[in-house]
Amino acid sequence: MVWLALYAAFCLGTSIFTCWPVAKYWDNAIEGGCIERSALNYAIAGFNIFNDLIILLLPVPWLRGLQVTFRAKLVLIGVFTCGAFAAIVAIVRLHSLFVHGSAPIDQQPLVGVDIAVWSGLEINIAIICASVPALKALFVKIIPKLGTYKKYSKNPYGRNTSGNMPLQSFDKRTGNFSTKAKGPIEIKVQRSIQMNSVPAEDDDSEKHLVFNGWKADCYAQGLGSMGIGMAMNLQKRLAELGFPALQYHNRTMSRGQRLQEIGGVARDNISELVDRSDIVFMSLSDDAALKEILDRVLDDPAADLSGKVIVDTSTVHPKSSNQAHQRVRQRGMKFIAAPVFGASPVAAEGKLLWVIAGPDDAVQLITPFIVGIMGRRIIRLGDDFMQSSMLKTAGNFMTAGMMELVAEAHVFAEKTGLGTEAMEELIEHQYGPLALSMSKRLTTGAYLPGRGQKPWSDLGLALKDVGHGIDCAEGSDSRLEVAEVALRHLTEARAYSDVEGRPLDSSSMYGVLRRGAGLSFETDLVKKRDNDDE
């Protein structure tokens, strides 16, 4: 940039002060002198060629490792080819300058036409190259097909195995797993709200969320508190780029009203949406929902699903992720396990942490939709789908264990007379924002939402998530003792919820711990709030 600025100043200076005084440029009778014009022309032409080649060659070493789609690479290659042509034109123009200077004076106006042609061509090619990013949206608007990545591959991904594996489900009420032998693996897509320290609404209306993407057409299924945040951010970005709108479906279609207001397109049929889609983002609540949605997606044996990419952001058992991959693969589709960390406010801000496992080409394809749009960062775990879900499971039982400790600390503070204010101040300054946000869920009464209010993070989903962790540990001959304690207390909280008829937050083990210490399940703050609401 410094070099180009100096060169621009040089060109401006020599253009103005080609002669001195300046008026001598058009009045040769004036005393003074001028720069040799042919030498100046050769010098500027040479510098232009040098600048073109440097700008063309500098980015080349980074192009091979650039994490963009194949189509984007083709566009970049086109831009660089155009730039190379501009450099070639500049060289031809230099030759024309030499021919012009060598021609007899009466022939110079004729041969000077070539200089004008090549000069105009050089500058216009440079303008076109610089305008490619802005022109893309215009061309996509005029010719929609330019915005689609349809049919990346006609070949099924990997081997074609039947996958007759048992599908385990977790009973939220009993805390037990049941195994049902199935034929070819059945999977259902639903979103799971992880137990997080950030306040987050959640409800079962999010049980069927899938977004179809980027034309790659975008499809969203299940617009609960988490899914609506992701879908809104994706649609906003698609609109900015002039790409086809996000299509969505939800069991309760009214939840898509906000999305429709910013350009989202509602669809009544899931199979139709998937047929129109290239990338399908699914955000669903549990393993059973994953099975249900894939049943509906794969229901038509005649549908051409090859090359489509399924991105499952649900929190499910690692075995369910593997089963989903096998079933999707049988239809020629590619599967990406992509569970996310972060509650609904984080989803709304587009700052979720994504844990991704899947084939490299499919991951490269979806990355532009994630970083800076629906997520702040991606943790890449190769193509082992079970590992992605395993890491998410680990994160969830860690969160449950941390919440258990914070809840115990507050009960300890109340019973010993320390007081919750002193404990929360210690947590804030010693253990940081994550622990503080957990503490706030207790001290503000969010662990037991007001009547008619929704929990930040649903207790039933917490039971499922911690249960997955315990099951995975048992399968690896290890034990999660802290998670087992948390699950027992969460199960007791579920019993309280059933009796009272009130939904509870995943932090509601606090009420169980209070009751075990001889205190009431409800804090004084919760009692006052409930009385005021009556």
pLDDT at residue 362, as a whole number: 92
* Torsion angle of C-alpha atoms 507, 508, 513, 519, degrees rounded to 10: 130
Name the most confidently modeled range: 80-84, 116-120, 393-397.
Answer: 393-397
**pLDDT class of 208 with cuts at 50, 70, 90:** very low
Q: What is the pLDDT of residues 229-265, one digit of tens each?
A: 888 999 898 888 888 888 887 777 777 888 889 988 8
**pLDDT class of 178 with cuts at 50, 70, 90:** very low
> Of how many residues is the chain composed?
534
* Torsion angle of C-alpha atoms 42, 44, 46, 49, degrees rounded to 10: -140
Report the mean per-residue pLDDT for the chain: 78
**pLDDT class of 64 with cuts at 50, 70, 90:** low
Rounded Cα distance between 353 and 379, Å, is 8
Cα distances from 424 to residues 36, 153, 199, 292, 428, in angstroms, run 80, 55, 17, 43, 6
Which phi and psi angles does 91 have, rounded to 5°? -65, -40
Place of tokens 């155009």: 82
Q: What is the pLDDT of residues 165-177, one digit of tens each?
A: 333 443 433 444 3
Q: What is the pLDDT of residues 341-359, one digit of tens each?
A: 987 788 889 999 999 999 9
Contact between 96 and 118 under an 8 Å Cβ cutoff? The reply is yes
Count of alpha carbons within 13 Å of 95, Cβ hemisphere only?
7
Contact between 323 and 187 under an 8 Å Cβ cutoff? The reply is yes
Q: What global pTM score does this model have?
A: 0.57
Checking if the pLDDT of 459 tops 50, the result is yes
Checking if the pLDDT of 151 tops 80, the result is no
3-state SS, residue 18: coil
Rounded Cα distance between 266 and 245, Å, is 10
Rounded Cα distance between 233 and 283, Å, is 14
User: Which structural domains are found in the chain, ordered by start?
Assistant: 36-142 (no CATH), 167-383 (3.40.50.720), 392-533 (1.10.1040.10)
353 DSSP β-pair partners: 341, 377
**Strand pairing category for 334-337 and 265-266:** unpaired
pLDDT at residue 363, as a whole number: 93
Name the most confidently modeled range: 25-34, 53-62, 153-162, 313-322.
Answer: 313-322
